[in-house]
Chains A and B, each alone.
Chain A
Amino acid sequence: MSAKSFLGEFEQMVLLAVLQQKERAFALEVRRELERSANRSVSRGAFYTTLERLGKKGLVRWIEEIPEDPHRSGPLRRFDVTAEGLTALRDSRRALEALSRGLDGVLGEVG
């Protein structure tokens, strides 16, 4: 990933949700975490295509796991944020913090 490219808002949220889920970062759990934390509905299509895009950028990777439910119709993928993904998240966070500096009066405290 180019050092100059920025993550989109939704991409950042997906990466953070993967990190939050740790070893339970299966797609269904990550999407539920997103909906819970962001308090908004997340389109399955947008979510899965974003995961694939992040994978192509090298920001997430996945491994296939054997499902616990023997009746599940297909494989499970467990996601993980790569070192490049962490770097991209840190860069985005740093940029946001720099841009927010001195604006507490306008933006208020983060809850």
Chain B
Amino acid sequence: MFLLSNFTSHIDMIQTFGDFIELPASQEYLIIGFSPSSVPLKQRWRNNGLSADFMADYLATFFPGNEDDSSTIERQAEIKSAVSYIANELLENAMKFNNETSEYPINIKLQLESDGVLFSVANSISPQGVDKFQAYIQQLLASEPSELYIQQLEKNAVEESCTDSGLGLLTMLTDYSAKIGWKFQTVHKDPEVIAVTTIVQLRV
């Protein structure tokens, strides 16, 4: 299910977790990039939803709705809603956990495949944040997602200080039956810059 390369050194390290795949070559994709330091995060927050809705609208073109067939309209609405939700959550995570001291760009790519949609999001992450994130990924991979979802909500309900709900990735697994994989890669040494790529596979 997942691969751990514990014995590599911290330099030049590549680690993958979960259902990570390299994106297949494609001519049908949409990519949006962000320079991390151009506008403060608070002002940029609304952009996540706008970008996600744009991606969903773009993709809906490939699933045309026929007014004479309500099932095609429903299918289009369902795909739009799912793409909008997932893209927004991925962008919110990328903005939240991005290493603000690095110039490494944030980008989100949406790619159409014959049996579904692939999302790929890349951002840098602080070296201190890596262990915490990987521990969370390990927990996700070792758990039954729908049980972890309830546990997480019950825990969040009694913890006042928690700033991150830890629900975005979980809901992709539980509510959208998505497959998720991650790649961590040291892309620069001195100062150390670690990039994380998150791949989400959604069947449609």
Please say whether chains A and B are actual partners in one complex.
no
What residues of chain B have their CB less than 8 Å away from a CB belonging to chain A? Answer: none
